[in-house]
């Protein structure tokens, strides 16, 4: 400590993660499409942590509802789920209709995904 209660110089961490704290993925997660249930599911260390329900057509996927288990809220699970689902959708050449407010808001915060949105 410096004189008169001054804490001295503030040290910056050696590495800053490129994602905001609430979108980091510190847990071992896996996202899978489960087409028989019309949803993408995210698991964390083998435990289901959340899902994103959808309606699929030949050219478009409509995300209708996303849910994260309360035990996993605030840990970036929802963001990881949406990011990986949208990456899969892109690879499949589909458009996205984000009816789910969470998915819609996530895309709005990540403009690199707006090209997927159905016009």
Q: Cα–Cα distance between 60 and 92 in angstroms, integer?
A: 10
Task: Check: pTM over 0.75? Answer yes or no.
Answer: yes
Please say if the pLDDT value at position 1 is more than 60: no
Identify the CA nearest to 102 among candidates 44, 47, 40. 40
Spatial contact of 50 and 77, defined as CB atoms under 8 Å apart: yes
Per-residue model confidence as pLDDT tens digits over 15-49: 333 444 444 445 689 999 999 999 999 999 899 99
Considering only residues 98 and 27, tell me which one the structure prediction assigns the higher pLDDT: 98
pLDDT in tens, 44-83: 989 999 999 999 999 999 999 999 999 999 999 999 999 9
């Amino acid at each position: 400590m410096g004189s008169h209660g001054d804490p001295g110089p503030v040290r910056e961490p050696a590495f800053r993660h490129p994602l905001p704290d609430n979108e980091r993925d510190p847990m071992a997660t896996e996202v899978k499409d489960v087409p028989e249930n019309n949803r993408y599911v995210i698991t964390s260390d083998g435990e289901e942590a959340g899902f994103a329900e959808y309606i699929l057509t030949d050219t478009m996927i409509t995300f209708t509802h996303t849910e994260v288990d309360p035990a996993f809220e605030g840990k970036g699970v929802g963001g990881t789920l949406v990011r990986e689902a949208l990456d899969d959708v892109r690879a499949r050449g589909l458009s996205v209709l984000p009816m789910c407010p969470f998915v819609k808001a996530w895309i709005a915060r990540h403009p690199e995904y707006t090209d997927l949105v159905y016009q």
